[in-house]
A and B are shown apart, each in its own frame.
Chain A
Amino acid sequence: MKPKIGIPQALLYHRYYPAWNKFFEELDCEVVDSKVSTKETVDAGVRLAVDEACLPVKLFLGHVQYLKNKVDYLFVPRVVSIESKEYLCPKFMGLPDMVRYNIDDLPTIIDTTLNLRDSKINLFKAALEVGEILGKGIWQVNKALWKALRELRKYRSERKGKINSKANYKIGVLGHEYIIYDPHISMNLIAKLRKMGVEVITAEMLSKPALKKGVAHLSKDMFWTLSKQMLGAGHHFFDRNDIDGIIQLTAFGCGPDSLVGEMIEREAKRRRKQPFMTLNLDEHTGEAGLLTRLEAFIDMIKWEGI
């Protein structure tokens, strides 16, 4: 029987899932995902996590709780860095530990460290380590990794092509992809905006050079990869004349956001070019308040006075 690998549908899942799924399938495993977040996932996560954890981490624990009795292995890598000379938020480094110390009766956790800060070769090493845990040889792992990377490239180019250029209004949405692409915690923000007749553009749909250009002016390099991407996207939106407004979605308790979100907000105020709104989400956020603000924001963009 194929071993079952559980992948919690939260945090970096949204960025890498096609690659992860492919990789484990190629290693003769059955991938079990934890389904889209629901109220139950959030409730479970909030119960399990320490109070100081950010909302996305709480959500992650909720997904682990859902999976723990359904799988042989849980894939919770310790992702330290995914770009040269950069880091992810410290919560990604401590994720396997947070899972272990907050949840009981866990299956085996695959908590391989992934650190590409100094060298990209480390990706191959990490893959081999995962292969070793599952008892797979170097050639099979190599092939699986290669296929996974191809899958990832395909996924990324698909996302970039998703912009509907016919819409009358375009809104840039800023925020971590594990928030804005999780329909439950983002309260379906993207779908709601599309329903209001607005096209949504996120950092994931932008090209690498565009994001890079957006952070070119910084006096000091930003070393958090995901925040750097957000900042780059923000500045890219500021420079574009066809973006009618910008909505920033932040999660309560997010450390990097409290700094980078403020930097983006200040720049938006300074430029006074596009309407800008920050929405802060936590597990208690009511949908009514969010909807009122969204509607008012869209009215503000469309309204030309009476």
Chain B
Amino acid sequence: MKAGYMGIDVGSVSTNIAIIDEDKDVLESLYLRTNGQPIRAIQEGLMRIQELIDIKILGVGTTGSARNLAGVIVGADVIKNEITAHAVAASTVVKGVQTVLEIGGQDSKIIILRDGIVIDFAMNTVCAAGTGSFLDQQASRLDIPIEEFGSLALGANSPVRIAGRCSVFAESDMIHKQQLGHNLEDIIAGLCQALVRNYLNNVGKGKEILGPVVFQGGVAANQGIKAAFEEELGVEVIVPEYHNVMGAIGSAVLAQSAVKKKKSTSFKGFDTSSFDYHVSSFECNSCPNHCEIINIHQEDEIIARWGSKCPKWEAV
């Protein structure tokens, strides 16, 4: 039986799991849709991993927007934010990386590294234009499988100009261009360029982008976006093999170093997938803040609780 470290990245759109060995090589990876049910996605992910590979888990790390929830369910050794996890993964996979472009389901980030150390980062603030969800939506509107969406862009002769500032306006612009009779390839290529421009102006604003540039996250599978980045930046853009599970790889690497310090893992085992987890919530009326308190139950026992501004509900 092999041994390795597991990283779990529970994001808005996808839940990803990666298993790495002591040399940080990926043994197995899994990409699932979260479908708005993070607990079920985590349990299903664990079940699938168990079927795919016979492995002893030496450590486990969680990341993503549901990192705390995932952490209590699996018994994480380390719970880290997704920016750090992505930076760790990129510098593990591509040595000497200086820029990480990451576009996920609902957020996008840029991370600037120099000499292996993060020196600056940014995340999209108010607008999610150009993230995976929007591309998904456009692909289904045009009735094209999302997997083929990007490669279609490569066949464009003269990409049309589309306003990428806002996804609502981008969509109406696309419809307008369609009605004028432009062909699909040119419109999709135009959309890719618009989204890249928007990303570089908003997220990458004022950052010094130097190669090697790594492009990761679910959207990195889109060849049209990759090509648009290369054209705009004038450097080669590297899309790693496991680009869609980089957050999970990063948290597995972090778990490895956390367990080295802790000496043992807190992993609850694959049995976790058979327990009944559910959440309950209530509004605390002790003060005018009306905090929404969330209880995480394992069977009938409350194992974690969060959501309050004060320590009143901290103890479980």
- Interface residues of chain A, those whose CB is within 8 Å of chain B, are 38-41, 184, 188, 269, 272, 275-276, 280, 288-289, 291-293, 295-297, 299-300, 303-306
Contact partner of A39 among B88, B117, B289, CB < 8 A?
A: B289
Provided the pairs A40-B288, A269-B206, A296-B121 are in contact, do residues A305 and B116 lie with their beta carbons within 8 angstroms? yes
B278 in the interface (beta carbon within 8 A): no
Q: For the complex, what is the distance from the CA of A188 to the CA of B206, rounded to whole Å?
A: 29
Q: How many residues of B contact A (CB 8 A)?
A: 26
Say how far B291's CB is from chain A's closest CB, in angstroms.
Answer: 8
CB <8 Å contact, A296 and B81: yes
Given known contacts A296-B84, A299-B80, A306-B92, is B120 in contact with A275 (CB within 8 Å)?
yes
Do B119 and A275 have beta carbons less than 8 Å apart? Answer: yes
CB <8 Å contact, B121 and A306 = no
User: CA A297 – CA B118 in complex, angstroms?
Assistant: 9
Residues of chain B within 8 A (CB-CB) of A39 are: 288-290
- 7 A-B pairs closest in CB distance: A296-B83, A305-B116, A40-B288, A38-B288, A295-B81, A299-B84, A300-B118
A-contact bits for B278-299, CB 8 A (1 contact / 0 none): 0000000001111000000000
Tell me the residues in window 66-108 of chain B with beta carbons closer than 8 Å to chain A beta carbons: 80-84, 88, 91-92
Residues of chain A lying within 8 A (CB to CB) of residue B17: none
Cβ of B115 under 8 Å from chain A: yes
Q: Which residues does B use to contact A, with CB under 8 Å?
A: 65, 80-84, 88, 91-92, 115-121, 123, 125, 206, 253, 257, 287-290, 309
Chain A residue with the shortest CB-CB distance to B121: A296
Contact of A292 among B83, B91, B257, B289 (CB under 8 A): B83
Q: A40-B288, A275-B120, A288-B65 are in contact. Are A306 and B82 (CB under 8 A)?
A: no
User: Given A38-B287, A39-B288, A306-B91, A293 and B123 touching (CB < 8 A)?
Assistant: yes
Closest chain A CB from B9 CB (angstroms): 13
Contact between B288 and A289, CB atoms less than 8 A apart: no
Q: What are the residues of chain B within 8 A of A188 when measuring CB–CB? A: 309
The docked-state distance in angstroms from the alpha carbon of A87 to that of B123 is 35
Q: Is the CB of B80 within 8 A of A41?
A: no
Closest to A44 in B: B288
Q: CA A305 – CA B309 in complex, angstroms? A: 33
Residue numbers in B under 8 Å from A272 (CB-CB): 119
Name 22 interchain pairs, CB-CB below 8 A, sorted by A: A38-B287, A38-B288, A39-B288, A40-B289, A40-B290, A184-B289, A272-B119, A288-B65, A291-B81, A292-B65, A292-B81, A293-B83, A293-B123, A295-B84, A296-B83, A296-B84, A299-B80, A299-B84, A303-B118, A305-B115, A305-B117, A306-B257
Nearest CB of B to A154, in Å: 29
Question: Per a CB cutoff under 8 Å, which of B65, B88, B290 touches A306?
Answer: B88
A293 to B84, CA, bound (A): 10
